[in-house]
Chains A and B, each alone.
Chain A
Amino acid sequence: MNAEFETHEHDVLIIGAGGAGLRAAIEALAQGASVGVVCKSLLGKAHTVMAEGGIAAAMGNVDSADNWRTHFRDTMQGGKFLNNWRMAQIHAQESSERVVELEQWGALFDRTEDGRILQRAFGGHTYKRLCHVGDRTGLEMIRTLQDRGVQMGFDVYMECTITRLLKDGDRIAGAFGYWRENGRFVVFKAKSVVLATGGIGKAWPITSNSWEYTGDGMALAYEVGAELMDMEFVQFHPTGMVWPPGVQGLLVTEAVRGEGGILRNRTGERFMERYDPKRMELSTRDVVARAIFTEVREGRGTEHGGAFLDISHKPAEYVKRKLPSMYHQFLELADVDITKSPMEVGPTCHYMMGGVRVEAETGASTIRGLFAAGEAAAGLHGANRLGGNSLSDLLVFGKRAGLAAAQHAKGQTTTPIDAAQIDQAEREMLAPFEHQTGESPHAVHGDLQQIMQSLVGIYRNEEDLKSALQSIGQLRDRIQNLTIGGSRMFNPGWHLCGDLTSMLTVSEAVTRSAIARRESRGAHSRLDYANLDAQSGKQNNIIVRRGSEMILRQEPIPAMPADLQAILDEGKGAGA
């Protein structure tokens, strides 16, 4: 059969080399497992490198009253109580330890006066909680993890894309993919697979995400029968760049607001007073994104359809020191000196709260041997993620998934790979070269993005969503007939053909889940169901494949233990 394919074998195969994947790899190595890490880009270029504001951890270095209970409560409140409460608890309890560990591996965070890790304010966090390095926290984190992993000795397969997971009966047996450089196929045999593939932003045209974020992990998991959860919750970050056109969607860190940035509309009004007078600019992302969107829709937007974000009242030197990347980004790409003038900002598709349904403790999916962590996994953030809770998520649950994957591998033997699965995967990938006539993948991608932006955006209604679902169905037919020129050598158009399959799967899952949730909660806002609905708030939407059909069902959220409920009730008493 597939003797012609290059084959690699590992106890644990990790797909994705951002924060979650690298942290999982480090832990699996520490358990003595042989670890392979596969990533679509070069090592160190994953989206984690773009993370700016910081890592949320209740260390209490700046506000000594902070503790894990408050962090837990903030996370649950931010997620509109749809979060997996056990994940929110683990996350709040373990994130400080994970940050300290990073420091011990060589990461250098900004410091307090007395020499400890400095923490800054962020939306939805009661206390100053984000450990940071200026506005390049993600870079510090990914380099630290990367160097640790390299030193410990994982094998990295860079610029390699996985298109299929392989199964042996009901358990995971490995993965199939191709080298981007030469287009050759490669097979990985593995006892455990960890999905750490990040989000789905490229299904929208205005996004902070790079080309890699096409929902691969969620689609791979879905294809082998794993369950997806909370797929309706897509975070639109309130502040992306809006001008010039080429940089539309590029992230403007929440740290600008954390450091005192003020939002105004065209008339100069500080409009957050009308949306969240208590928290103002540091309200949660869903609220601020809707506020800006509404200001623009009602005719109070800036020249290029955004809001003004102003930090120029702070001393120029301070702005340059705390927000160096923002300073350069606006100066070089938009001709704006943010120490003197306001920025123009608007919502941008940024983060996926939903994803692979996992067990809180282990990151195990519903398929034996398949794990997920980070943005690819669902649960921690519920209906809306707080800024800073992503980097901590990657560390806390990356470690746990790596541990569980290594432990699972210990009890397993490798299995032979099923030739039929590989043959099918190969045929799917080669089809675009065989079609003499057909469509460009860019045309289909462009159409998908328009559908998602206009019909499955910040505000949704049933009519739009149903129309989107129908259009996505038509795109599914169209991708059967894609064509691509050139060779298999480093051919981005061909790569996009494969990525489109993933994007259509996740887009359909988002749309179906959005139709099913007949209420407005967190990042999911329905014009036809504008309020919270108590009953809907007690259940998750679950997506699973049955044959070629996508099935949705609703499952009740397990009851919260009394001790955690008490923490939430305390918050009510405090008026939060």
Chain B
Amino acid sequence: MADVVLRIFRGTRENGGTVDYQVPVAPGMVVLDALHHVQKHQAPDLAVRWNCKAGRCGSCSAEVNGRPRLTCKTRMDALPQDKPVTILPMKSFPVIKDLVTDVSWNYKVNKSIPAFQARKGTDWKIRQEDIDRVQEFRKCIECFLCQNVCHVLREHNKHEQFGGPRFFVRVAGLEMHPFDGVSRAALLKDQLGIGFCNITKCCTEVCPEEIRITDNAIIPLKERVVDEFYDPVLRLVKRIRGARNET
């Protein structure tokens, strides 16, 4: 069977470079299979994250030939075999070792998002057509590929001011729950910095779950923030209502 060369990043954030490994290609092989082959036969200490091997857990993200991919869903036979297959760690997160990056920032952002809280008097009768939309967002497997390609994070390093597409999807999954009783508009505007997103749709392109992140999550959330904070008519109505409530 034909061999292919894998050109894998080895090392840490301070010190590293690519190393070539030759791997025999089997039918239907995916990049993660090839990485496991390297671990088994050539470099047992090659650091790779993986769990389900079925595109379900979102652990094995990397940049394959320059494209952010789940390595468990990237077929070797879909890549040119006559030149090395380059496998690098995700660029937007600090490298720990080899293909493993420090994604802890994502967990920090997640913690700042208030969880679902049901409105009072909810009867829990929900029609399927009312949740089709929100179920799309809940397909997210947290592979963080969208975070990796988002230029606000990748090029501009706005990790402190910007939550990234993954967390807009998460907020959308909560805000559009028919019975959710919490408003996260201020969070979106301030801490998560949704205004930084200029809807280039890079995130949507790489999503392995094919969530239409920009169109279905980010744009409606941007509109929500605008309605809440920048709509002069609504603000006036709110002020009057607020004044009434106070009396």
Knowing A49-B56, A115-B127, A181-B96, the reply to whether A491 touches B47 (Cβ < 8 A) is yes
Which residue among A42, A43, A246, A332 has the maximum number of chain B CB atoms within 10 Å of its CB?
A246
| Bound: A284/B56 CA distance, A | 25
The chain B residue with its CB closest to the CB of A51 is B56
Within the complex, the shortest CB–CB distance from A51 to chain B, in Å, comes to 10
Q: Mark B119-152, 1 if CB is under 8 A from A, else 0.
A: 0000011111001001100110110000000000
Which residue among B56, B58, B98, B116 has the maximum number of chain A CB atoms within 10 Å of its CB?
B56
State whether A492 touches B127 (Cβ < 8 A).
Answer: no
Asked whether any CB of chain B lies closer than 8 Å to the CB of A233, the reply is: no
Q: Mark B72-101, 1 if CB is under 8 A from A, else 0.
A: 010100000000000000000000111010
Knowing A442-B39, A494-B45, the reply to whether A41 touches B28 (Cβ < 8 A) is no
Asked whether any CB of chain B lies closer than 8 Å to the CB of A487, the reply is: yes
State whether A492 touches B96 (Cβ < 8 A).
Answer: no
Knowing A147-B115, A244-B26, A490-B96, the reply to whether A442 touches B44 (Cβ < 8 A) is yes
State whether A151 touches B51 (Cβ < 8 A).
Answer: no
The chain A residue with its CB closest to the CB of B56 is A50
State whether B100 touches A246 (Cβ < 8 A).
Answer: no
Asked whether any CB of chain A lies closer than 8 Å to the CB of B110, the reply is: yes
State whether B55 touches A151 (Cβ < 8 A).
Answer: no
Interface size counted on chain B using CB atoms at 8 A: 57
Of the listed stretches A72-80, A106-114, A413-421, A460-468, chain B binds: A106-114
Asked whether any CB of chain B lies closer than 8 Å to the CB of A484, the reply is: yes
Asked whether any CB of chain A lies closer than 8 Å to the CB of B186, the reply is: no
Within the complex, the shortest CB–CB distance from A129 to chain B, in Å, comes to 19
The chain B residue with its CB closest to the CB of A246 is B33
In the complex, which residues of chain A have a beta carbon less than 8 angstroms from the beta carbon of B124? 103-104, 116
Describe B's contact surface by its main secondary structure: loop
In the complex, which residues of chain A have a beta carbon less than 8 angstroms from the beta carbon of B217? none
- Residue of A143, A243, A244, A332 near B138 (CB, 8 A) is A143
Within the complex, the shortest CB–CB distance from B176 to chain A, in Å, comes to 10
State whether B128 touches A110 (Cβ < 8 A).
Answer: yes
State whether A334 touches B28 (Cβ < 8 A).
Answer: yes
Within the complex, the shortest CB–CB distance from B106 to chain A, in Å, comes to 9
State whether A485 touches B45 (Cβ < 8 A).
Answer: yes
Asked whether any CB of chain B lies closer than 8 Å to the CB of A247, the reply is: yes
State whether B97 touches A139 (Cβ < 8 A).
Answer: no
| Bound: A149/B219 CA distance, A | 29
| Bound: A151/B111 CA distance, A | 7
- Residue of B26, B100, B118, B131 near A111 (CB, 8 A) is B131
| Bound: A545/B107 CA distance, A | 40
State whether B134 touches A108 (Cβ < 8 A).
Answer: yes
State whether B28 touches A45 (Cβ < 8 A).
Answer: no
Q: Mark A498-540, 1 if CB is under 8 A from B, else 0.
A: 0000000000000000000000000000000000000000000
| Bound: A243/B28 CA distance, A | 8
Within the complex, the shortest CB–CB distance from B93 to chain A, in Å, comes to 12
How many chain A residues sit at the interface, stated as a range, is 35 or more
Asked whether any CB of chain B lies closer than 8 Å to the CB of A493, the reply is: yes
| Bound: A143/B73 CA distance, A | 22
Within the complex, the shortest CB–CB distance from B40 to chain A, in Å, comes to 5
In the complex, which residues of chain A have a beta carbon less than 8 angstroms from the beta carbon of B44? 440-442, 484-486, 491-494, 496
The chain A residue with its CB closest to the CB of B73 is A332
| Bound: A201/B58 CA distance, A | 20
The chain A residue with its CB closest to the CB of B52 is A50
| Bound: A106/B138 CA distance, A | 11
In the complex, which residues of chain A have a beta carbon less than 8 angstroms from the beta carbon of B141? 49, 139
Knowing A42-B103, A106-B116, A442-B39, the reply to whether A487 touches B52 (Cβ < 8 A) is no
State whether A133 touches B135 (Cβ < 8 A).
Answer: yes
| Bound: A477/B111 CA distance, A | 46
Within the complex, the shortest CB–CB distance from B20 to chain A, in Å, comes to 18
Q: Mark A96-136, 1 if CB is under 8 A from B, else 0.
A: 00000001111010110011101000000000000001101
State whether A49 touches B45 (Cβ < 8 A).
Answer: no
The chain B residue with its CB closest to the CB of A150 is B111
| Bound: A490/B13 CA distance, A | 13
Asked whether any CB of chain B lies closer than 8 Å to the CB of A211, the reply is: yes
Asked whether any CB of chain B lies closer than 8 Å to the CB of A560, the reply is: no
Within the complex, the shortest CB–CB distance from B120 to chain A, in Å, comes to 12
Knowing A211-B51, A484-B45, the reply to whether A114 touches B125 (Cβ < 8 A) is yes
In the complex, which residues of chain A have a beta carbon less than 8 angstroms from the beta carbon of B56? 49-50, 136, 139, 325
State whether B115 touches A151 (Cβ < 8 A).
Answer: yes
Asked whether any CB of chain B lies closer than 8 Å to the CB of A347, the reply is: no
State whether B53 touches A247 (Cβ < 8 A).
Answer: yes
Asked whether any CB of chain B lies closer than 8 Å to the CB of A86, the reply is: no
| Bound: A482/B110 CA distance, A | 40
In the complex, which residues of chain A have a beta carbon less than 8 angstroms from the beta carbon of B100? 181, 490
State whether B138 touches A246 (Cβ < 8 A).
Answer: no
| Bound: A74/B26 CA distance, A | 43
Knowing A49-B56, A212-B51, the reply to whether A333 touches B96 (Cβ < 8 A) is no
Asked whether any CB of chain B lies closer than 8 Å to the CB of A210, the reply is: yes
| Bound: A325/B96 CA distance, A | 31
- Residue of B29, B104, B115, B135 near A106 (CB, 8 A) is B115
Asked whether any CB of chain B lies closer than 8 Å to the CB of A245, the reply is: yes
Knowing A133-B135, A150-B110, A245-B27, the reply to whether A210 touches B51 (Cβ < 8 A) is yes
- Residue of A118, A133, A489 near B12 (CB, 8 A) is A489
| Bound: A156/B108 CA distance, A | 12
In the complex, which residues of chain B have a beta carbon less than 8 angstroms from the beta carbon of A105? 115-116
Asked whether any CB of chain B lies closer than 8 Å to the CB of A408, the reply is: no
Q: Mark B22-64, 1 if CB is under 8 A from A, else 0.
A: 0000111110010000011101111111111111111100000
Q: Can you report 9 residue pairs joining A to B where beta carbons are below 8 Å apart?
A: A108-B177, A244-B26, A332-B75, A333-B54, A490-B47, A490-B97, A492-B39, A492-B44, A492-B47
Q: 8 closest Cβ contacts across the A-B interface?
A: A244-B28, A493-B44, A106-B116, A486-B45, A115-B125, A490-B47, A246-B33, A210-B51
A interface residues (Cβ-Cβ under 8 A, vs B): 41-47, 49-50, 103-106, 108, 110-111, 114-116, 118, 133-134, 136, 139-140, 143, 147-148, 150-151, 156, 158, 181, 210-212, 243-247, 250-251, 325, 328-329, 332-335, 440-442, 484-487, 489-494, 496
B interface residues (Cβ-Cβ under 8 A, vs A): 12, 26-30, 33, 39-41, 43-59, 73, 75, 96-98, 100, 103-104, 107, 110-111, 114-116, 118, 124-128, 131, 134-135, 138-139, 141-142, 174, 177, 180
